[in-house]
Structure 1
Amino acid sequence: MKRKYAVCGVSNRAIGMFIGPMLETFAGQCDIVGLLDIDARRHEVCKSRYPQLADVPQYGADDFDRMVAETKPDVILATGRDDTHAVYIIKALEKDLDVLTEKPMATTGEDCRRIMDAEARSKGKVTVTFNYRYAPIHTKIKEMILEGKIGRVTSIDLNWYIDTYHGSSYFKRWNRIREISGGLSIHKSSHHFDLVNWWIGQKPVEAFAYGALNYYGPEGELNPRKEDGRHCGTCDVKQDCAYYTRWSTRSRDMAVKDDHLGTVKGEGGKADYTSYRPDACIYDSEINIEDTYAATVKYDGGALLSYSVNFSMPYEGYRLAINGTKGRIETIEYHAPSRTPFPTDVQTIDYFPLFGSKETIHVVHREGGHGGGDPVLLEDLFLGPDPARGYEILSGSEDGAYSIGTGEAVWRSVLEHRPVRLDEVLRAPTATAAAR
């Protein structure tokens, strides 16, 4: 049976991750009936890429109620800028509609509480599209833990590295404003916190963290000149900027992509979106987020997470170890092999039983974004969960809230120099919500 979808936020992520597959792969399950965005140019870009949407009505940012009344969708797809998600999720739930939202579900713990309470009163349901869960390496780790290979999980070490190309991109865009993105402990790290929460099957209860702005902002050590308002495309000192010259030459500008608001393939490299450029200077004084975190998180099952993330590294990837009462899992992943200057091997998992010999596990890899996770996530969303899978993988509002709540607890701890409990950030959900 086809379900009718209305898209709130016609972003690059919406077009590439959802709209394209909905029209081409899942056309038998999906009918896109409405497009909503603050910028009419985005509607034009979307429809030029997918002419089959030519007759789909389009709406402005304040036209949600009219869109629902006129198009009568079954599901709202929330894929705009992070700070818009909660607005449309809550409006949809108030109308008893289901919601698919990209991560992060919201940018604050307060909005997470509002979403969970709205869902408790609604016939609608929220699904958060955490695609990292679906990567073959990540599902294999989950299966090993469920099989009891390492016993009860006691501690996790997760160190995430973002290279200078990807890391600096957040500081060229809207992500650099905390009021819009929640900061990188929410916008980016919520992915990582959700993975850990899901892997170990425990809920975070408290976080303590340190964080700093080490590389970007006006005090960045490599800032060629203290001056606000510059853009890479027109900057007269960009040849003195190491972050620019590392990835670009005088004749070739390796512009970063923006999953939400930047350029779109097929548009001649320019989408000309209204009042927005994704190449703002990484040294502007308006930057008010951190680029480095080190945190400890305590879980309700006794596990302890040691987490760090750095947004200015020479290569991209992560190092993971999960320890339990019967053994240890280790893996190292390098992302973006086309960019990294270091040799990369195919990712494997090392399993160390507490008493016994090491095993190296090779995982069959898949094509597709986010380590092969995106295509399988989309199948679960539009075809229903795979009946052959013996465990839950699709995530709901509580999962979204705990990932965001951990990120906010980390940032609050940095700001307030104290441990921060998740119930301070999220509070306990209502009895009705807890029973859902």
Structure 2
Amino acid sequence: MKKIAICGLSSRAFSMFIKPLLTNFSSGYEITGLLDADPKRFAVCKERFPELEQVSVFKEEEFDDMMRRSKPDAVIVTGRDDTHVRYIIRTLQWDKDVITEKPMVTTVQDAKRVLAAEAKSKGKVTVAFNYRYSPYHRKIKELILEGKLGRITSVDLNWYIDTYHGASYFKRWNRSRQYSGGLSVHKSTHHFDLVNWWLDQQPEEVFAYGNLHYFGSESEWNPLRGEDGRFCGTCRVREKCQYYSRWHPRSQNAAVKDDHIDSSADQSLLYTEYRPDACIFDEEIDIEDTYVAAVKYEGGALLSYSVTFSAPYEGYRLTINGTKGRIETNEFHEPSRIPFSFPEQTIEYYPLFESKQTIQVVKNDGGHGGGDPLLLEDIFLGKDPLRPYDILAGAEAGAYSIAVGEGIWRSVAEKKPITIKGLFHMQNA
């Protein structure tokens, strides 16, 4: 029986790791320690999972005490993004394995620290990039490995986050770059890791444009300018807010709705001195909600990437071009939130000199397009012996995904191309 400690009692910790550990993987794993900066989270966690009632809890500064007393074989890191680095490094210093949600950390400098700590440790870092495990994304990897596209020349990836999901990032701590690294790190590292993995190439240079168009105090959708500090649950002008009204019928009681927290609970019971329903039009928001970027890779491939965090629907459009062919696929996420009909996702393969082929993909159940269960199986049961290629991500993959994300926001701020090598050589950034 292997022992697990959890650092950061977030909703992701609950749904992605604790629940599966107590059910699907309970025969091989035991949770022996819980750590969080907010003591209310211990009560929330144990109410949600009564099986953990006797598990020891530890404050943020009691990490070493947790390691001594709970004696974990591995530590799962699922706290606020900026806290990841210290838990990862301390775990490695104890020569234990780390499993961290994405992003691994929030800056390239912190990624360097993790890589250095891992090199000195008997432990290793696993980054839970569940998008790799989507059946469509695995099939794309397999087509590339089979040589169907030849040498990859370019990738076009356009990602759309809808008004329900996108607004949630601006209600919470994600809206501050010091906590999240900005959305080009917190969210887009998912996308950059996918492309890096498909290409099996390291990124070299990034150039980007970006801005805050939909959120923040200057937004044209702000129902009341000049007043900061509002919260959705108590806002006196919420019925004039298009974002609030889109997802909250007037006949219903106010509730916080987003993809990351329990919208049915009284938020005052979930956190101490923190509310996850801050106004999306606050002055303090210091990140972008729109990016367009170009990335050059060491093997010659080029990525054209865009993302918007306030779209009418959620999904992506992807094209990959190679010397022997091209693939295209469009995905619509969260069908219950799309107010129009849309086609089922397929992968269209265009050989360079032959007829198009439409590929239907075998699907599986679970979060993130069926990726979550397969990721967890690889983490807790070991690599699938039927899969002939590597898919589980480590610290280096985490670092390069962050490098592209940081390169994007720095390029926007500095109005110039950013080299990945330059980011890794920056001092005290």
What range is the shorter-chain TM-score in?
over 0.9
Q: Deviation of residue 427 (structure 1)?
A: 3.8
1:213 has 2:215 as partner: no
Aligned residue in 2 for 1:431: none
Please say if residues 135 and 371 of structure 1, whose CA atoms lie closer than 8 Å, have aligned partners that are also in contact. yes
Give the match's secondary structure for 1:398.
helix
Assess if the C-alpha contact under 8 Å between 1:317 and 1:334 holds in 2: yes
Say if 2:247 and 2:257, in contact at 8 Å, map to a contact too.
no
Per-residue CA deviation, residues 99-153 of structure 1 (Å, 9 max, x unaligned), is 0000000000000000000000111100000000001000000000000000010
Distance, in Å, in 2 between the alignment partners of 1:120 and 1:159 is 36
Name the residue aligned to 2:298. Answer: 300
Which residue matches 1:256?
257
1:271-286 correspondence to structure 2 within 5 Å: 271-286=269-284
Shift of 1:51: 1.3
Aligned equivalent of 2:181:
182
Q: Which residue of 2 aligns with 1:237?
A: 237
Answer yes or no: is the 8 Å Cα contact 1:136–1:365 preserved in 2. Answer: yes
Q: Per-residue CA shift, 1:216-268, capped at 9, x if unaligned?
A: 10100111111100011111111111111111122224622363xx4377x56
**Distance (whole Å) between structure 2 residues aligned to residue 407 and residue 256 of structure 1:** 27
1:426 positional shift:
2.3
- For 2:345 and 2:251, the matched residues in 1 are separated by 35
Identity %: 61
Q: TM-score, normalised by structure 1?
A: 0.95
Query: Gaps spanning 5+ residues in structure 1: where?
Result: 429-436
What's the TM-score once normalised by structure 2's chain length? 0.97
Q: State the match for 1:55 in structure 2.
A: 54
Equivalent residues in 2 for 1:116-265 (5 A)?
116-226=115-225, 227-252=227-252, 253=254, 255-257=256-258, 259=260, 262-263=261-262
Q: CA deviation at 1:366?
A: 1.2
Post-superposition offset of 1:370? 0.1
Letter in 1 for 2:175: R
Match of 1:94 in 2: 93
State the SS of the aligned residue for 2:319.
strand
Contact persistence 1:264–1:271 (CA under 8 A): no
Pairwise CA RMSD: 1.3
Matches within 5 A, 1:73-84: 73-84=72-83
Question: After superposition, what is the alpha-carbon deviation per residue over 1:319-341, rounded to whole angstroms, capped at 9, x for unaligned?
Answer: 00000000001000001110111
Deviations 1:152-208 (A, max 9, x none): 100000000111111111111110000000000000000000000011111111100
Partners of 2:189 and 2:22 in 1: how far apart? 29
* SS of 2:194 mapped into structure 1: helix
Q: Provide the C-alpha distance between the structure 2 equivalents of 1:201 and 1:193, rounded to a whole number of angstroms.
A: 12
Q: Offset of 1:272 from its aligned partner?
A: 3.1
1:270 deviates by 6.3
Match runs of 1:346-361 below 5 Å:
346-361=344-359
Q: Which residue of 1 aligns with 2:106?
A: 107
Whether the 8 Å CA contact 1:264–1:270 is kept in 2: the answer is no
**1:410 equivalenced with 2:408 (yes/no):** yes
CA distance in 2, matches of 1:37, 1:258: 21
SS in structure 2 at match of 1:44: helix
Q: Provide Cα deviations, 1:281-326, integer angstroms capped at 9, x if missing partner.
A: 1110000000000000000110000000001111110000000000
Measure the CA separation in 1 of the matches of 2:30 and 2:302.
44
Give, in angstroms, the shift of residue 421 of structure 1.
0.7
Q: Which runs of 4+ in 1 moved over 6 A?
A: none
Q: Hey, what's the Cα distance between the residues in 2 that align with 1:106 and 1:372?
A: 25
Could you tell me whether the CA contact under 8 Å between 1:154 and 1:303 is conserved in 2? yes
